[in-house]
Amino acid sequence: MTSLTSAPPAGRTSPDRRPRSRLRFWRSPAGQPRWARPALLGIAALAALLYTWNITSSGFAPYYSVAARSMSVSWEAFLFTSLDPSATLTLDKIGGFLWPQALSARIFGFHDWALTLPQCVMGVISVLVMYRLVRRWQGPAAGLLAAGLLTVTPVAASMFGHAMLDGAVTLCLVLAADAYQRAVRSARLRSLLLCGLWIGLGFQAKMMEAWVIVPALFVGYLVAAPVRLRRRLGQLALAGALMFTVSLSWVALMTFTPERDRPYVDGSTGNSAAAMVFGYNGFNRLHAGLIDGAAPAAGAARTSPQPGGTDAPGPSADGP
C-alpha cells in the first residue's frame, strides 16, 4: 500500500520551518528575561555614544601619536613600535597598544579620530563582556547593572574616548576574567589557556600592570576548580607558559634580533628591551637602580617630534 503525505495548506508554514523574525537580534536568548537583550543593546549604544562624543576633537597624544604615525606608514616601525618610520628608536615601553591605532590610521588616514576609534570599539566590547561575566555569576539584572556602571564611569569615558594605552589593557583583562570564570566553573583547559592568552596580550599593552591579577587568579583556580589537585597544577602550568610566551614575545624579538637590524630601545642605557620593560617601567619605579641597564626615572622632559612634523619640546611617555 502506498501512503501519501499531504503538503501543508498554502499560506501555512511547517512547524520545522518557522520563518526567522527580523527582530531576532533583539530577542533575549533562551533562559533569559525578554528585557535582557534590548536593555543590553541600549547600554552598548549609550557606551558608543559617550565614548565617541568628542572623537573628532579628541586631539593627538604627544609622543604616542608620533609613533602611531610612523607605524602606520612602515611595517618595520609597526613591528618594533618605533618612533620614526626608519625604525631607529623605539618607544620607552612596549607599544602593543598602538598596533590598533596604527592600523586604523593606515586605513582611514592619520587623524585624531582615527587614532581614537579603536579605543571606542574596545570600550563597547568591554561593556558587553562585563555583562556576560556578571550575568553568568549573578544573573541578568546584576549583569546589566555592572555593564551600566562601567559605561557611565567617568574614567572609562575618558579612557575609551581618547587615544590612550589603558583601553587596550582594560579590554584584555576583562576578557581574561571572563575566560577565567568559565575555566574555574568547568575546569576546561581551553578556557584557562584563553585567559592566559588575554593576559599576555594585555602585557603587550601595558606591561607588568597586566600581571597584577595573576596571583589572585592562580589561587582562585587552585582552590576552586572542580578537578583533582594534580590536574589543576598541570593546567595552571600550561596556561602560565602560554601567558609568559605571549607576554615576552616582543622582548624576545628585540633581544634575539641583532642590534644592527633593529631600533635602539628607549628607556634603557644598554639597548635592552628587558631592562626597559622590567626596570624603567617596572621595579625601578619602586626603587631606583633595582634593575641594571634601565634609564633614569621616567618623566624627564625630552625633545620629541610632534604630529605636525616639527621637533619641539614634548613630554616623555606618561608615568603609569
Q: Is residue 204 part of a domain?
A: yes
Question: Where is pLDDT greater, at 316 or 120?
Answer: 120
Residues forming a β-bridge with 312? 304
- Average of per-residue pLDDT values in the chain: 85
More confident residue, 10 or 109: 109
If you average pLDDT over residues 269-288, what whole number do you get?
A: 88
* Domain count across the chain: 1
This prediction has a pTM of: 0.83
How many of the other CB atoms lie within 10 Å of CB of 14? 8
245 within some domain: yes
Task: Tell me, letter by letter, the H, E, C secondary structure of 44-100.
Answer: HHHHHHHHCCCHHHCCCCCCHHHHHHHHHHCHHHHHHCECCCCCCEECCCCCCCHHH
- 29 pLDDT above the threshold of 70: no
pLDDT in tens, 124-147: 999 999 999 999 989 999 999 999
Residue 86 lies in a domain: yes
What are phi and psi for residue 294, nearest 5 degrees? -90, 150
140-152 and 36-51 helices, crossing angle to 10°: 10
Cβ atoms of 58 and 119 closer than 8 Å: no
Q: What range defines the domain where residue 204 resides?
A: 33-266
Is 52 part of any domain? yes
Residue 165's pLDDT band (boundaries 50, 70, 90)? confident
What's the grid cell of residue 199? 593576559
Residue 2 lies in a domain: no
Percent of the chain whose predicted confidence (pLDDT) is above 90 = 67
What's the confidence (pLDDT) of residue 164? 85
220, 236 contact by CB (below 8 A): no
Residue 20 lies in a domain: no
Q: Is the dihedral of CA 201, 71, 291, 164 positive or negative?
A: negative
Q: What is the pLDDT of residue 37?
A: 86
Does residue 303 fall inside a structural domain? no
Residue 290: pLDDT band by 50, 70, 90 thresholds? Answer: confident
319 domain-assigned: no
